[in-house]
Amino acid sequence: MVATAPAKPTACLALADGTIFYGVGFGAIGQTVAELCFNTAMTGYQEIMTDPSYAGQIVTFTFPHIGNVGVNPDDDETGDPVAAGMIVKWDPTIASNWRSADELKVWLERRGRIAMGGVDTRRLTRAIRQQGAPHVALAHNPEGNFDIEALVAAARAFRGLEGMDLAKDVTCAQSYRWNEMRWAWPGGYTAQTDPKYKVVAVDYGAKRNILRCLASVGCDVTVLPASATAEDVLAHNPDGLFLSNGPGDPAATGAYAVPMIQEVIGKTELPVFGICLGHQMLALALGAKTVKMNHGHHGANHPVKDLETGKVEITSMNHGFAVDAQTLPNGVRETHRSLFDGSNCGIRMTDRPVWSVQYHPEASPGPQDSFYLFERFAEAMKERASA
């Protein structure tokens, strides 16, 4: 099955089932293999491409106007794009925004990321929903020369994300301090000069905006690599432990992350807060299980219900695995649930300030309905200090 091709295709996307999509290539020249997902956000393509949680994935953007605001250094969530590639409906337009410092095409080429435009992204999105996130090969060749059989074979040879520990590939190499707060008009990013709480953040692929949110509620943040032990964490004498977002199979990362979390919880009464992969790490440490989703949740418009207050939050999400709420042990309560498919989106221990959420309260991109979770973390550390 072959999708309609442009007059001179310079890019090709091959799915493992043999389906071929042709389009116009931009960004880097070459070939890559990955899992294919789709993201429904209308803003934040730069933040999405630099989100470490997208390691091992090519992102199909369902919103057609990608590239229209350009790119700038302030919006990177990490030093370089982590997503393997980008699929869009239209060839990116010329950037028009006062913050723009470069064109998306140039930025992708310089950063070594392949992209393809001119694709029927609605059809591609339906294919992802129907068959689950497929394994694909994406190629960009200005001459339009493609070995289709080799591309399909490469897609079929991709091992997939199940069983893959990708946190080790995107985590920091060594510990560092963070004091930059959230962007605010007119000064942009400013430094936290009066921290109240010492927080250790374990980096499984942390987004910068998460660290900014921690700093913005008064945290003096020390970031440690994903392989940090409980001894490493407690050596900083923290007031709280934060578990970051990240890519890959939580069960694989859990081989070394879970023992650390269990030891910290077992030895201390520290408040613990996790996001995304950090949520899954906490759930595994408490005795629950995780499962691979059909096509995951990737977007900035996902409704989540707080089961304890009845309120609904519109959230930003990016995950392909989920916590199985049916496996939560005694003493652990489900706190949030997706209104799209009923999947678990939050848990907490019933006898101490230890909790996590599957979605991204820092947004970037997305709504800021859930920023209160960072404030709750700060309040828990305040209460512990005054106890």
Angle at 202 between CA 371 and CA 158, to 5 degrees: 100
pLDDT at 187: 87
Q: What is the rounded distance in angstroms from the CA atom of residue 148 to the CA atom of residue 3?
A: 13
- Helix 250-267 crosses helix 277-286 at what angle (to 10 degrees)? 60
> Exactly one of 135, 279, 297, 360 is catalytic; which is it?
360
With CA atoms as reference, report the closest residue to 335 among 321, 349, 324. Answer: 349
Q: What is the rounded distance in angstroms from the CA atom of residue 125 to the CA atom of residue 11?
A: 18
Two tokens, residue 133: 């996130």
Q: Is the pTM for the entire model greater than 0.85?
A: yes
Which fold is adopted by the domain 11-157?
A: Glucose Oxidase; domain 1 (3.50.30)
- Please state the length of the chain: 387
Q: What is the rounded distance in angstroms from the CA atom of residue 275 to the CA atom of residue 273?
A: 7
362 a catalytic residue:
yes
Q: What is the rounded distance in angstroms from the CA atom of residue 83 to the CA atom of residue 79?
A: 12
pLDDT at 250: 98
Two tokens, residue 206: 């942390």
Angle at 367 between CA 81 and CA 280, to 5 degrees: 65
Q: How many CB atoms lie within 10 A of CB 193?
A: 7
Q: What is the rounded distance in angstroms from the CA atom of residue 349 to the CA atom of residue 351?
A: 6
Number of alpha carbons in the 13 Å side-chain half-sphere of residue 23: 27
> Exactly one of 276, 298, 302, 345 is catalytic; which is it?
276
Q: What is the rounded distance in angstroms from the CA atom of residue 112 to the CA atom of residue 119?
A: 21
pLDDT at 93: 83
* Strand intervals (E) in the chain: 11-15, 20-27, 30-39, 57-61, 85-87, 114-117, 135-140, 176-178, 197-203, 219-225, 240-243, 272-275, 289-306, 312-324, 332-338, 344-349, 354-357
Q: Which residues contact 133 (CB under 8 A, 6 or more apart)?
A: 35, 36, 37, 57, 294, 295, 296, 320
> What's the Rg (C-alpha) of the chain?
21
Instruction: Write out the residue limits of the CATH 3.40.50.880 domain(s) in the chain.
Output: 167-386
Two tokens, residue 319: 């995950």
345 a catalytic residue:
no
Which residues on adjacent β-strands are paired with residue 189? Answer: none
At 113, give phi and psi (nearest 5°): -120, 130
Interval 54-80: pLDDT, tens:
999 999 999 999 999 999 999 999 999
C-beta of residue 161 within 8 angstroms of C-beta of residue 84: no
pLDDT at 8: 84
Residues in the chain with pLDDT values less than 50: 4-6
> Exactly one of 35, 47, 313, 362 is catalytic; which is it?
362
Instruction: Write out the residue limits of the CATH 3.50.30.20 domain(s) in the chain.
Output: 11-157
Two tokens, residue 368: 């800021």
319 a catalytic residue:
no
C-beta of residue 61 within 8 angstroms of C-beta of residue 44: no
Interval 245-291: pLDDT, tens:
999 999 999 999 999 999 999 999 999 999 999 999 999 999 999 99
- In CATH, what is the architecture of 167-386? 3-Layer(aba) Sandwich (3.40)
Name the amino acid, one letter, at 42: M
